[in-house]
Structure 1
Amino acid sequence: MNRDVVLTCALTGAGDTVGKSEHVPVTPEQIAASGIEAARAGATVVHVHVRDPETGRGSREPAFYAEVVERIEASGVDVIVNLTAGMGGDLHVRDADPTHPGPETDLVGGVERLAHVEQIRPEICTLDCGSLNFGDHDMAYISTPEMLRAGAKRIQELGVKPELEVFDTGHIWMANQLHAEGLLDDPPLYQLCLGIPYGAPADPRVAAAMVDLLPDGANWAGFAIGRMQMPMVAQMVLLGGNVRVGLEDNLYLSKGVKATNGQLVERARTIIEHMGGRVVSPAEGRDKLELKPRG
């Protein structure tokens, strides 16, 4: 069991959730305010996506990321900032015409996905470690081995810690290969992402099997989406890991009760504390994850 837990709050994501809850932040100002709320509730890390303020759809615009980070830093609230670098991997494949990408496609190279990371140089950014069918329709996420090698190398050069997002066991294999090739500084940081169709299911046996595949000395966290979010908080702590909650992954505090990010952090912190653990501060989290100073 992990008794000193790094707790991440994923603030908004890029999914079609804006119309499903009034608490999902959209503008940079709203996303920053939600991150500050989560930090004040006890989050060690905030994981940041941004959205187009006009449409609510996920965005790769560096200026939006810069505004979120600037607002969080200006608040005086200490929290580790983790910027997604997963945007730009979406391929919309229509069965009627699979050779021509559909209108939902947003697909760029691995290094181009890092434009905002290049500019801001956060303490952590994500690296999605493999391709997969994403959701139950016509979308695939594309992240090839050579894209990953190029992305990992550039993140390493920037001095940013990559959080290795693994959605299935083959993604762990790929991340381990990047580590073996010297493209990841020690200790590597993994995030087990469970319950996303059609990656690894949100099952305690699957979580345990994935943990067994991680290299010795790795830092890691895990989460599940939807109703399994809070049960997996307990499971990951029992397995020795850190945890993630937030509106990116789950909109509800309980059945029919919509949550804020601060409330989800408070619920996760309560679970951890009732298990005999504690949530570490951002300063302790930096030491534990061996992060380099921003910039």
Structure 2
Amino acid sequence: MNQDVIITCALNGAADTAHRSPHVPVTPEEIANAAIEAWNAGAAIAHIHVREPDTKQGSRRVELYAEVCERLRASDCDIIINLTAGMGGDLYIGPDENPTAFAKETDLVGATERLIHIEALKPEICTLDCGSVNFGDSNLVYVSTPEMLRQGAARIKELGVTVELEIFDTGNLWFALQMMKEGLLDDNAMFQLCQGIPWGTPPEFSLLKGMVDMLPDNTNWTAFALGRNQLPWVAQSALLGGHARVGLEDNLYLGKGQMATNGQLVERAVNIIENMGGRIMTPTQAREKLCLRGTQ
């Protein structure tokens, strides 16, 4: 078991969840406040998406990310900022008779454009989604090709930002390890093992164990699962030597019929880890553990 656990709070994501829960933060002020709430509850890292305030849908606008970062950096909160760089990969295939008639919801840009806000704001951590995958039961494909990934990884390394590699299936992990062999990733690259996202890796403990066994020694990694599996995966991840992730991006409920806040989910994760005999790392301790910029 990992005795010293870093908790990440994934505050909001980009899915259409803000219409399902009043606690999903939407505006930059709400997102920054949610990060501070998570920090007060014990989170060391805030994983952040931004949304359009009027539609509540996911956004790539740099000025929204900038306002969130400015609010956090101006506060007393020292939480580690982890910005998504996964937006811009949504491809909605057209109907069967005309599949190249992509739906208006398509938001597909290249690797460089997905990193514009990372270049502008230099967060301590940003994500890299390590492969293409079918999302849900419609015609949505998340596109992240090997060439896109190589370009994105190289640019993130140039910027001096620590990369968190989002692993949605075993092939994603295989390619992430290939990028390590090619020297495209710094030694402190982090792995996020994502389970329960249709149609990636199912939330099965045996599959988590198999992916963990593929990781290099002394790798910093976290696993999470969606919905009702989120809190059990806090324990599963720590037991196998990893860290923990909770938050409203992945799960809206604290219990059956009970809507959660980000802070409540972090508090529950803290209780799970501490009741197992583990310790919760502060942001300062996490920076040292992860060899983030300025601590290497």
1:45 aligns with 2:50: no
1:172 aligns with 2:173: yes
The residue number in structure 1 matching 2:149 is: 148
The residue number in structure 1 matching 2:221 is: 220
Deviation at 1:215, TM superposition (A): 1.6
The residue number in structure 2 matching 1:17 is: 17
Opposite residue 90 of structure 2, the aligned amino acid is D
- What does 1:55-66 align with in structure 2 at a 5 Å threshold? 55-66=55-66
C-alpha contact (below 8 Å) 1:187/1:217 kept by paired residues? no
1:126 aligns with 2:127: yes
Q: Tell me the distance in 2 between the aligned counterparts of 1:110 and 1:245.
A: 27
Q: Tell me the distance in 1 between the aligned counterparts of 2:175 and 2:261.
A: 35
Q: Tell me the distance in 2 between the aligned counterparts of 1:41 and 1:50.
A: 22
Aligned residue pair count = 294
Unaligned runs of 5+ in 2: none
Q: Tell me the distance in 2 between the aligned counterparts of 1:29 and 1:132.
A: 32
The residue number in structure 1 matching 2:99 is: 98
Q: Tell me the distance in 2 between the aligned counterparts of 1:51 and 1:70.
A: 16
- What does 1:198-237 align with in structure 2 at a 5 Å threshold? 198-237=199-238
Q: Deviations over 1:242-263 (max 9, x none)?
A: 1100000000000000000000
Unaligned runs of 5+ in 1: none
Deviation at 1:94, TM superposition (A): 2.4
Query: Once the two structures are aligned, what percentage of the paired residues are identical?
Result: 61
SS of corresponding position for 2:251: coil
Q: Tell me the distance in 1 between the aligned counterparts of 2:218 and 2:188.
A: 6
Opposite residue 35 of structure 2, the aligned amino acid is G
Q: Tell me the distance in 2 between the aligned counterparts of 1:135 and 1:3.
A: 36
1:2 aligns with 2:21: no
Q: Deviations over 1:219-257 (max 9, x none)?
A: 101100100000110000000001100000000000000
SS of corresponding position for 1:9: strand
Q: Deviations over 1:44-67 (max 9, x none)?
A: 100000000010000000100010
The residue number in structure 2 matching 1:270 is: 271
RMSD value, Cα = 0.9
Opposite residue 278 of structure 1, the aligned amino acid is R
SS of corresponding position for 2:224: strand
Opposite residue 272 of structure 1, the aligned amino acid is I
SS of corresponding position for 1:127: strand
